[in-house]
Structure 1
Amino acid sequence: SKLVEDADELAGLPESALQAAAELASAKQQQGYLFTLDIPSYLPLMQYCENRALREEMYCAYVTRASELGPGAGEFDNSSLIEEILSLRSELAALLGFANYAELSLATKMAESSEAVLDFLRALADKSVVKAREEFSELQQFAQQELGLEALQAWDVPFASEKLRVARYAISQEELRAWFPIDRVLPGMFDIVQRLYGLQIRETPPPGSWHSDARFFELYDAAGEQRASFYLDLYAREGKRGGAWMADLKSRRRLPGGQLQRPVAFLVCNFTPPAAGQPALLTHNEVTTLFHEFGHGLHHMLTAIDHSPVSGINGVPWDAVELPSQFMENWCWEREALALFARHHESGASLPDAMLKKMLDAKNFQSAMQMARQLEFSLFDFKT
């Protein structure tokens, strides 16, 4: 973590991020503003803070975490564990008669061979990299001419990108927070699911819980029959794994006595917690993440299969499992869907059409750079 005592060092940071950092410091009995490497704390600083030296310090800490490098060198180094995982994967593949772990992994996926996967990734790279280089060149030029950054460094990219987005489209993720309070987004998402599938979702006291943030919901079909239930754990906190995911606690199955075990899912995110008596205000990216994970949850919970190895998400090839989640994301861009929940947290006014147009115009901003980054991860993972 990084404690900043002087607010002047945080020029450019949005009020919501300053407030969250101040509350985090206060919770630790410290004076000033406390930042961590959790995304809700780290990302706003990298996108908005004008203090280049601070951005560099945070970036270096972030990209070297759990390694032999950086400010925490060796303290939480996972290198030996990674090497052991790779070795055990290779050993497992050999024991099962596969040439390598990639071939073993593909045995339960739609892709037919390692060559097919690599051909697909390389073809996608060929189509993406040229445009990604154009986008990065535009960013370098903007950073030099408008921001005075002669040599664009890695810790400058989120900052310069956000400046370019605002200059080009006159909209930012931070500006959109006011229109997506969680106490409207969540009921709105449930309303969409009711309209699509005839489902009713009711919050009830959890039968057990690991944290006060975790909420519990039951899901009923149009006939009033309970189909499933799920936990929702939305906010980042100390000790919680980063990212967003859906996982299964129980899968649908028929028990030996004939009783039906209903599915139970976890839906976990790491959004910025509520602050100063206000509801949590989500960025549009966070709204999309919530819809994405709920798509996974619906996939698991709405199964009609009574055999757990193939019910819900079980047995679904991992190169097909993203279909329901990607489908749910689309509603975050539709005027009819946004009208159900995109309202200003103070005035209650609906999201203006002009703002939605800006969102749609900016939807594919730097999409080639983002694709190239994901391809880097994919190719590295597949080859190791």
Structure 2
Amino acid sequence: MSALFTPLQLREITIKNRLTISPMCQYAATDGFANSYHTVQYGRFALGGFGLVMVEATAVSAEGRITHGDLGLWSDAHIPGLSAIASFLKQYGATPAIQLGHAGPKASMQRPYYGDGPLNASDFERGDLPWPVVSASAQPVDEGWLVPEALDAHGLARIRQAFVDAAKRTHAAGFDVIELHCAHGYLLNSFLSPLTNQRTDAYGGTLENRMRLPLEIAQALRDFWPQEKPMFVRISAVDSSKQGVSVEDSVQFAKALAGMGVDVVDCSTGGIGRTYDYESGYGYQVQYAKRIKAETAIKTMAVGMIVAPQQAEAIVAGGEADLVAIGRQALQNPNFAHEAEQALGAVDASAPFNSWPRQVGWWLNGRQRKIAQIGEWQPAAETV
């Protein structure tokens, strides 16, 4: 048996295997609305065999977008486009999930392919105008970026309500898993990190205080989100700088999340700090998923340079994480999950394509029979 292709039961939702599509912003929306691009983008991963497909960071308010191209759920009008995606994912066997976030100090920036920095004159000519941004403190991301407004009590209440309202729309759209984005230098990470949180009130200073807003929002989402459906939280287990959030901090945060009923911690890193002070390489973030899983009563998801079926299998089989998120590798090969299933011997060798959509598997099994009859193709021998 393959550990990677063993179903995972979370509350009343069964995920058919442990392979997840990592939330990857596509910057293809207009005014937050999902379109046919998004349906195709996420639908192909369901056809490709992934157990859970996570829709990209979706803004809970217009000001919470990273760019003008972000998806949004600040209006009921956004529900139908996302509902079509959730419905398609379910139809083809994937569990539909969505990440809810607020960009905070990293809002009002360029789409990456236009420069990946603060909006400038060239963006204004395209109609991409800036908007005011908010954060834990009035500290810009870097030189030349917008100076955010430090959220006051009214602003904090507005943010909490925006997350709850977006969660209600998420449920109406038919998603089975919700993920709260607390990573990568965005709003909730800006509260968690001592590098960006310079507050002197109950939301700043000690780790307990810095965790306060993310935990309040996590609790509000868990209180609303149906008890039969699981909730994930994505964290930066460490900031890019070693002076920021530490793995010990993240263990404490994960313990608090577990205590309020969060089901999975999605373990990424980085986002705050000019350089990445830790080693990186294949599977470089798995260590954090492993440690948090070992030291808390919560399941974890590993992510980051996981590129091969055997690598993903070893992570789950070794108890380092419960789920494995695939990102860029899935963009390159949307059929990664199906091919991993074959590579790990988790399918019937006589009909290896039966787990594929039947519209495709029928053709591929026929091709397999033809190859069995005539042999694998080889290049012609060179002649002199």
Q: TM-score, normalised by structure 2?
A: 0.26
From the CA coordinates, give the structure whose radius of gyration is larger: 1
Larger helix share, 1 or 2? 1
How does the TM-score come out when normalised to structure 1? 0.26
